[in-house]
């Protein structure tokens, strides 16, 4: 059972890498078999359909995100956690976790026009991440760490905008400074506690 | 000759629509033949290879953008033209020019990990648009219509971020208010001339 789990993890990791470069739709059973040196029947033993493979791939990247959040969650809720989350986010975009940039952004753009379980899974994954940020933004506002007229949802909308720009600039224009630029802009929006901030 | 041009335009328009929904890579000669009711050999007469079809599709959407810019360019250079461009941009994202959202954003995300002529064409198209905005931002700064410490390039980076967020929110989360929200945030950055603005 453990060996099967390891093989499956290797397959979805390879699928996520491929998907970040060429799109999730390009990751067929046959392509994945070639990429990993397995037989097609070997791959099919783990994922009966292409959609099953796509869903498992989205689920696997969710586990990466959860692991990243565990580190972020060591910070106290509110502004400090929001700063940690943005820093972790832009460090991820500046690194090479996936060879073609953020897997989720690529999958979101690819599947936003195709209703079905994959689109729903991608939307749910992104909503979970943005929802976590929004919770901390709300805590920060309530604690006086952010200006009282801050709309947590609107703030996270802007943070996400900057993340999308960083990913596009790095992937399409080879602008490796973009994640750092986006992080500076993010911190300019969340980095300045108001005078009434709790000590 | 004119009939051939019209057929070709119909083919690339259909290709752009399909690509906005399912990705440019999914637009094969065969798929396009089925979609338009033409024979495969009929399509091949216009585009010998899939790459040629993809490049012509990018080029066709460039002509849409150029037409939009002609209207924008009726405004005087500088802040007013920048406002017109952002308004036109968000109106485009709020409408249904393509059934799956911005063709160029979809193609950019899809091809950013695949070096070659299509990626280069997509990057050039986006750079042309962003470059035009940057020129007007620079004129606006020089004219005192924007704060003197405004970095035109950084400003356009933020405008593009907000456009990406609007497209993702509308396409993935069915948030039809997103383009208007992004436009408000854009105008908040460019809509306030400084006191030293020329009359």
Contacts of B154 (CB under 8 A, 6+ apart): A181
pLDDT digits (tens, 9 = 90+) for A44-63: 999 888 899 999 999 988 88
pTM, to two decimals: 0.91
CA triple A96-A98-A100, angle to 5 deg: 95
Contact A25 B20 (CB under 8 A): no
A99 interface with B at CB cutoff 8 Å: yes
CB B53 within 8 A of CB B32: yes
Tell me how close the Cα of B143 comes to any Cα of chain A, in angstroms.
Answer: 25
Count of alpha carbons within 13 Å of B131, Cβ hemisphere only?
Answer: 6
pLDDT digits (tens, 9 = 90+) for A1-43: 788 888 888 899 999 998 888 888 888 889 899 989 999 999 9
* Residues A130, A111: Cα–Cα separation, whole Å: 18
Of A101, A114, A157, the CB nearest to B112: A101
pLDDT digits (tens, 9 = 90+) for A156-166: 999 999 999 99
Spell out which residues of chain A touch residue B175, defining contact as CB-CB under 8 Å.
Answer: none
pLDDT band at A147 (very low <50, low <70, confident <90, very high): very high
CB A145 within 8 A of CB A137: no
Question: CA nearest B154 in A: which residue?
Answer: A181
DSSP element (H, E) containing B124 = helix B117-142
In A128-167, the residues whose Cβ lies within 8 Å of chain B are: 154, 157-158, 160-162, 164-165
In A7-26, the residues whose Cβ lies within 8 Å of chain B are: 20-23, 25-26
- CB B37: neighbour CB atoms within 10 A? 7
Query: Which segments of chain A does DSSP mark as H helices, in order?
Result: 2-22, 29-36, 40-44, 50-72, 79-94, 103-111, 117-142, 152-173, 178-190
Instruction: Please name which of B111, B116, B16 lies closest in space to residue B61, comparing C-alpha atoms.
Output: B16
- DSSP-derived 3-state class of residue B189: helix
* Residues A119, A65: Cα–Cα separation, whole Å: 18
Contacts of A197 (CB under 8 A, 6+ apart): A143, A144, A145
Tell me how close the Cα of B90 comes to any Cα of chain A, in angstroms.
Answer: 14
pLDDT band at A192 (very low <50, low <70, confident <90, very high): low
Of B100, B113, B161, the CB nearest to A171: B113
Spell out which residues of chain A touch residue B185, defining contact as CB-CB under 8 Å.
Answer: 158
Both tokens of A187, joined, read: 């911190």
CB A20 within 8 A of CB A99: yes
Span A159-177, mean pLDDT? 97
Spell out which residues of chain A touch residue B165, defining contact as CB-CB under 8 Å.
Answer: 157-158, 160-161, 164
Contacts of A3 (CB under 8 A, 6+ apart): none
CB B106 within 8 A of CB B198: no
* Residues B11, B39: Cα–Cα separation, whole Å: 12
Question: pLDDT under 70 in chain B at which residues?
Answer: 192-199
CB B48 within 8 A of CB B35: no
A100 interface with B at CB cutoff 8 Å: yes
Instruction: Note the pLDDT of residue B1.
Output: 73
Tell me how close the Cα of B4 comes to any Cα of chain A, in angstroms.
Answer: 30
Contact A21 B114 (CB under 8 A): yes
Question: CA nearest A23 in B: which residue?
Answer: B110
Span A75-84, mean pLDDT? 96
- CB A56: neighbour CB atoms within 10 A? 18
* Residues A190, A79: Cα–Cα separation, whole Å: 7
Query: Which segments of B1-116 does DSSP mark as H helices, in order?
Result: 2-22, 29-36, 40-44, 50-72, 79-94, 103-111
A54 interface with B at CB cutoff 8 Å: no
């Amino acid at each position: 059972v453990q060996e099967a789990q390891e093989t499956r993890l290797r397959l979805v990791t390879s699928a996520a890498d491929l998907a970040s470069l060429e799109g999730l739709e390009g990751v067929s059973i046959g392509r994945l078999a070639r990429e990993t040196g397995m037989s097609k029947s070997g791959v099919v033993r783990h994922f009966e359909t292409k959609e099953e493979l796509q869903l498992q791939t989205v689920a696997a990247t969710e586990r990466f995100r959860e692991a990243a959040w565990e580190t972020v969650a060591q910070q106290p809720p509110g502004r400090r956690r929001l700063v940690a989350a943005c820093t972790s986010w832009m460090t991820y975009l500046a690194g090479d976790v996936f060879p073609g940039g953020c897997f989720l952004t690529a999958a979101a753009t690819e599947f936003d026009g195709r209703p079905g379980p994959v689109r729903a899974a991608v939307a749910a994954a992104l909503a979970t991440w943005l929802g976590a940020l929004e919770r901390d933004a709300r805590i920060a506002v309530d604690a006086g760490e952010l200006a009282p007229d801050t709309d947590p949802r609107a703030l996270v909308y802007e943070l996400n905008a900057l993340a999308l720009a960083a990913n596009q600039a790095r992937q399409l224009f080879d602008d490796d400074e973009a994640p750092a630029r986006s992080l500076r802009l993010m911190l300019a929006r969340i980095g300045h506690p108001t005078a009434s901030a709790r000590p």
